[in-house]
Structure 1
């Protein structure tokens, strides 16, 4: 943690701003002050478009760097910097070199890591350090300060992973959080260590009593975690999701376009025509909810048409969702073959549709279907660096709520395009089950 987030990355920022030790500011990797100020402003403004599930707001890196912690350095370097530094350097080799570091760090932070990936990390850091010396040291003894001992430490990261497992098994975040929990335990300025010793001892005793007598819930010092609270809505057909207020009831007949899209979604689900599906949509008002939370530690997503977005809020309405797409859709005579693909968009509405038993739909009992109205993002394909961006939005489409997986963040670059930040990884994926 200290090697990367509190040493290497801050040193790179000092190099980029021309403030690294005694070196000058005429090097090709130094960004002009106006450019760096714009990057700092964009960093601070990204707090509005990045959900709170992603962590704390990142301060203005140009003016408030003193408030950066290991967490904010990590998020800035892994997710914001690739977008904000894009097309900012006079020589693209410095940006490419930085992205190589980002890719290696993403591998190191994986929950699981294979032997092949360890070899990739070992070779990658070796090449990265060699290239670093070529770009910044340049075999000039007067620039030896650009190569601190922590730069050499990168060469041993693969060995540490091979010996101890992925870095999350041994990093210092857990210990630092624990040390932070000890600070309120200091009740005496004269004997601070005695106060901490007593706190640690009593906490250990309480933990042993919980284990020995199976009293974990009874002796818990925190309120019990409740997945479903009063006012929430849960149905058995969607065991991974719970709907949360605000709740409204609206008549879809007033919006013929939305009603048609709901019918199209149901027609695809039940393999019937849109006209037949439209006949089975209940007349009158339908429930709509403002938020949905994925159970089991998942994200809370907001429906923008029902949840207002204020100046101090953080936007949690942009989501990633997965749909099955026929890869031979343009070949009408060929049998369809489906594969899951990722899509991004803004969640606008969450609609509850209660269907009665119907022979045309092959429904033998009542069923509740949760639908999501999403305004799709016209996202570009991932570029060579794995990043995706967009400039405009497409029309609204209605999909099954089970396909909506998680929130995403966005950061706007100096060219007016939005880069998509999706850090969910393989832990948040839809499961498509054959009927």
Structure 2
């Protein structure tokens, strides 16, 4: 598991710790990640097939119950899935044998009431204990419960980079109101610092698509393969918009004159994808070429939409039933973002430039073929990537990789990517 630390984004949670060595120290958030993300990957091949199948039924119910919105029909599915898993577990492991009674932990009984709790008081996020556990961790992070109190004035000063702290020793019995005050102060300081760090220049610009290219920039001269990708992209754009460009070279030559394609651009450090209606769906993607090299974290892998060509459509390359009515014939693809940039045709070369976009936000991505392992999706570490030019708006989510032997299993923030649903 710990081999996957470098490819598990910070936005997904704490650094991965081995379940074998550190399970007794795991926090609630780590157990949540284990159930929804890690276990489906690392238990596959170790559990008997029948056990793994029933365990995945339980995992599916947990994922649904952790959603921010749970419908009545989903509550029924949760109740049925939990009941099915409990019956199977009791039949498989307990077997009504007194000697096996230790396998029936009291906490298992709570699974029977998950759907009932959701119906009574709402989804799990309303009352789960992750925030309280974080608070306890903050209060006990220093010896003898010493902690830092940050007043409103200190928080304000901290936003300017001049943080001032007051060390106070906690009494043996800490007043609940005081704990709450400390917690709120720390949370506000963290939120303000993160907003100032990640979104500082977003306030200075407006964009209709909710996508911002930001951070440090660096001049880059396009290589031959990249220029070829740009040529293909602009030709396709002109064809889709039914724009006729005078082509003195005659039929069969590129629609976009080669001299209209810029020879260089400014690499951008990262892209921020903001969803104003659902903050939890916003995410940030740094580019691999512009990120500092680190052995601890890399977070440049993404899932994006890829349009199938005519040959792939005829071959019926993994087009799901629900997508068969879609004329676009798109599928999910996975790769690592090399860098982001903005580009537009050189002035004076495109006759119908007014009908093209003023600028295109693009990303060069190293695309890797993926394969199915049951419901899971993985790429082979021995395969070489293929360079692709992708409009930034086609990027749908940040993903992580879990390494297992020669495979890299693809996971999302709260789930392992599944072949049928995500492909």
Same fold? TM cut 0.5: yes
Consecutive unaligned residues in structure 1, runs of 5 or more? 1-42, 207-216, 426-435
Residue matched to 1:174: 131
Correspondences of 1:387-402 after superposition (within 5 Å): 387-391=376-380, 392-402=383-393
1:75 lines up with 2:33 in the alignment = yes
1:150 lines up with 2:107 in the alignment = yes
Residue matched to 1:264: 232
Give, in angstroms, the shift of residue 279 of structure 1: 3.1
Correspondences of 1:21-420 after superposition (within 5 Å): 43-89=1-47, 91-178=48-135, 184=147, 187-190=168-171, 192-194=173-175, 197-198=177-178, 200=180, 222=192, 225-226=195-196, 228-229=199-200, 236=207, 238-245=209-216, 247-252=217-222, 255-271=223-239, 275-279=254-258, 281-296=260-275, 298-311=282-295, 313-325=296-308, 337-355=327-345, 356=347, 360-363=351-354, 367-381=358-372, 384=374, 386-391=375-380, 392-414=383-405, 416-420=406-410
Contact kept, 8 Å, 1:109 with 1:168, in 2: the verdict is: yes
Contact kept, 8 Å, 1:234 with 1:242, in 2: the verdict is: no
Give, in angstroms, the shift of residue 328 of structure 1: 8.1
Alpha-carbon separation, structure 2, partners of 1:366 and 1:343: 25
Give, in angstroms, the shift of residue 408 of structure 1: 0.7
Give, in angstroms, the shift of residue 50 of structure 1: 0.7
- Given the superposition, is the C-alpha separation of residues 277 and 94 from structure 1 closer, same or farther in structure 2, using an over 3 Å criterion? same
Aligned residues: 360
Alpha-carbon separation, structure 2, partners of 1:164 and 1:321: 36
TM-score normalised by the chain length of structure 2: 0.74
Correspondences of 1:5-16 after superposition (within 5 Å): none
Give, in angstroms, the shift of residue 285 of structure 1: 2.6
Give, in angstroms, the shift of residue 269 of structure 1: 2.4
Structure having greater relative contact order (Cα 8 Å, sep ≥ 6): 2
- Given the superposition, is the C-alpha separation of residues 56 and 259 from structure 1 closer, same or farther in structure 2, using an over 3 Å criterion? same
Alpha-carbon separation, structure 1, partners of 2:182 and 2:126: 27
What is the SS of the residue equivalent to 2:83? helix
Give, in angstroms, the shift of residue 178 of structure 1: 4.7
Q: Give the aligned CA root-mean-square deviation in angstroms.
A: 3.6
Consecutive unaligned residues in structure 2, runs of 5 or more? 141-146, 150-166, 246-252, 316-324, 416-423
Q: Deviations over 1:401-434 (max 9, x none)?
A: 11123221111223x1111002378xxxxxxxxx
Contact kept, 8 Å, 1:281 with 1:353, in 2: the verdict is: no
Alpha-carbon separation, structure 2, partners of 1:275 and 1:74: 52
What is the SS of the residue equivalent to 1:104? helix
Contact kept, 8 Å, 2:399 with 2:410, in 1: the verdict is: yes
What is the SS of the residue equivalent to 1:277? coil
- Of residues 276-285 and 167-176 in structure 1, the stretch that sits farther from structure 2 once superposed is 276-285
TM-score normalised by the chain length of structure 1: 0.72
